[in-house]
Chain A
Amino acid sequence: DQVLHIVPETFQQVQHLQLLHSTLLLDLWKPLLPEDIMPGEDLHIRVPAPLVQEVKDSLDQHRISYRVLIPDVQELVDQSMPREMSSHKQVREGYVYAQYHPMDEIYQWMTQIQNNYSELVTQHFLGMTFENRPMYYLQISQPSNKPKKIIWMDCGIHAREWISPAFCQWFVKEILQNYKSDPKIRRFLQNLDLYVLPVLNIDGYIYSWKTDRLWRKNRSPYENGTCYGVDLNRNFNSSWGSIGVSFNCSSNVFCGSEPESEPETRAVAQFIRRKKSDIVCFLTIHSYGQLILTPYGSTTKPPSNNEELMQVGKKAAAALTGKYGTSYKVGPSSLILYNNSGSSRDWAHMIGIPLSYTFELRDNGTYGFLLPVDQIQPTCEETM
């Protein structure tokens, strides 16, 4: 069901709207009575889903302009319901995945998930952030005596890209909720382990909630505490400091004092290095831009397995587009985005992980980092 906002301009339009209301039995939200519909006054009317197209066509025919005020009434209803009565969209424990969550809720969520799916999920410590917060990843693994290859996915390396941690949480939920009913997922987990780090840059993420919504970097101080933050995605040891960076702390692409100077970078790098011979795929999730980026950012020279990387990437983009028509471009960062060095994706590939990708999720700049809450679900669904 949708709620439409209409401002009728003439008495003729008012009459037509009153006619639509009485013949189709539409639900007037404002004003309450059809006789109170006036030219120049706001009209809010709820249209049941099966009638939406018909009503819009009729409005278009009569040159009555409208705007969709609420694209999905059910969704709003679900979101405002108390937890116990939640709809199918929410997990048993009542977590709303189609909303952005602050860090303390994400910590709680990780504990809940481990408790609720203890046969499959274990929470592991990765390291500490600069401001002394623990970094945890979730390991989703079907018990078996054979050794398994690993797919790594991290989210939230850049604080303001809120859709990214939202996706990691959604991803975990989808896999776990559908594990029993979906044979594809079961087969997947028979052969592969999933390691998911929902928020890499925890200090930055918290800062973007409390202080500066558009913050990007971590929160370590430089220049005697007069300047904060390293761009963690310029801090890895992949042609570090060579291009697309700044050595000035005040820059949003400050690469740090040396490769892996930051505790968050070190925590991830040390872990990946230890496990690298088992990791087949490294995914790092960002926004915005709607891109699937392959190595490298630091050079246009293609990686050795470029064809494979492109093939897999293109298949992913096609599957993504198939869901809601959202188009993604695929290619090396240096060619379709910009040059940069020290990225985690480049580093993962350089140490031998064959499939390494950066995902830039929705959108294309209209809302940019401030992606509306109602786009969380479709973005996550298509990216699955």
Chain B
Amino acid sequence: IPDFGHKYYLQFSTEDYRTGENAGSCLATVLYPRKKSPPVVSIKCSHTKDQNEIQEEDNRLYQRIRQQSKPITGSNIPDSYGNIEPALEPAWALAVAGSSSIMWEKSTEDVGYFLAQVKSVKQWMRKDDVIEFDYTVLLHEMPTQEMISCHMRLTWLPGHPLKVKHFCASENRRLEEGSGLGSGSAAGLSEERGANL
């Protein structure tokens, strides 16, 4: 759109992250104004599963996590060989959902992301019914090919939107140890609008 920006019309299908099964399709328009600001998005999706099914699955996931008597902790998910321990799958699934909100916020017309690895996860046990996890995730940034380390705190109760707070290191690692967070410039904590799991 001359003197304003770029508008994209998208039609795409979605699939289950783990199984690859078709999960529905979406129609969207994305408008990137020339001046740097978040894009304007309108989107409508159809789901292959109905609300009840989705709710049931959410509840099952929730129960699986709640049943554990000890706090879930782990690191390097998947590991170097692509393995994910079955006991850590629920934590990984929530990390995928939560980091998608980080990627949503960070991506621009020219820069996109994939979740490369969950570096660490630690569950915070709460007295109420809410599930809470602390994560360090690595985002693969394109086209720079960088690995961005982000700290993510996620809370969830089925039937409610996922709540995500994040803090991403904004510098490349300069030194040689594999320690995520760089010299910590102020990216700040930002409260995310929740997303349905």
Contact = CB atoms under 8 A, between A and B. Distances in A.
Chains A and B come from one and the same complex: yes
Nearest to A212: B178
Interface string A227-250: 110010000000000001010001
Contacts of A228: 176
A368 to B, nearest CB: 5
Nearest to B174: A250
A250 B80 contact: no
Contacts of B114: 365, 368
13 contacts: A5-B86, A65-B57, A162-B80, A211-B176, A216-B145, A231-B145, A250-B172, A251-B146, A337-B143, A338-B143, A365-B114, A367-B78, A370-B78
Interface in B65-124: 67, 76, 78-83, 86, 89, 114-117
B81 A100 contact: yes
Contacts of B63: 40
Contact of A69 (B82, B86, B140): B86
Given A338-B142, A375-B82, 20 more contacts: A7-B64, A9-B60, A40-B63, A67-B89, A100-B80, A211-B178, A212-B178, A213-B80, A228-B176, A250-B173, A250-B174, A252-B145, A252-B147, A252-B172, A340-B143, A368-B114, A369-B140, A370-B79, A370-B80, A373-B81
A220 to B, nearest CB: 13
B86 A251 contact: no
A366 B81 contact: no
Contacts of B117: 213-214, 370
Given A250-B173, A251-B172, A365-B114, A370 B145 contact: no
B138 interface: yes
A-B complex: 6 closest residue pairs judged by Cβ atoms: A372-B82, A338-B143, A365-B114, A252-B145, A250-B172, A370-B78
Interface residues of B, number: 34
Interface of B: 17-18, 57, 60, 63-64, 67, 76, 78-83, 86, 89, 114-117, 138, 140, 142-147, 172-176, 178
A244 B86 contact: no
B174 A253 contact: no
A215 B173 CA distance: 11
B143 A372 contact: no
Contacts of B146: 251-252
A226 interface: yes
B60 A65 contact: yes
A251 B79 CA distance: 24
Nearest to B142: A338
Contacts of B143: 244, 253, 337-340
A246 B78 CA distance: 29
Contacts of A7: 60, 64
* Band of interface residues on A: 35 or more
A366 B18 contact: yes
A366 B80 contact: no
Nearest to A70: B86
Contact of A214 (B18, B57, B79, B138): B138
Contacts of A246: 144
Contacts of A244: 143
Name the residue among A212, A214, A375 with the largest chain B CB count within 10 angstroms: A214
Interface in A196-214: 209, 211-214
Nearest to A226: B174
B101 to A, nearest CB: 16
B116 A40 contact: no
Nearest to B78: A370
A213 B82 CA distance: 11
Interface string A358-381: 000000011111111111000000
Contact of B81 (A231, A340, A365, A372): A372
A100 B81 CA distance: 7
Contacts of B172: 250-252
Contacts of B115: 365, 368
B81 A40 contact: no
Given A227-B174, A372-B81, A373-B81, A251 B144 contact: yes
A369 B76 CA distance: 13
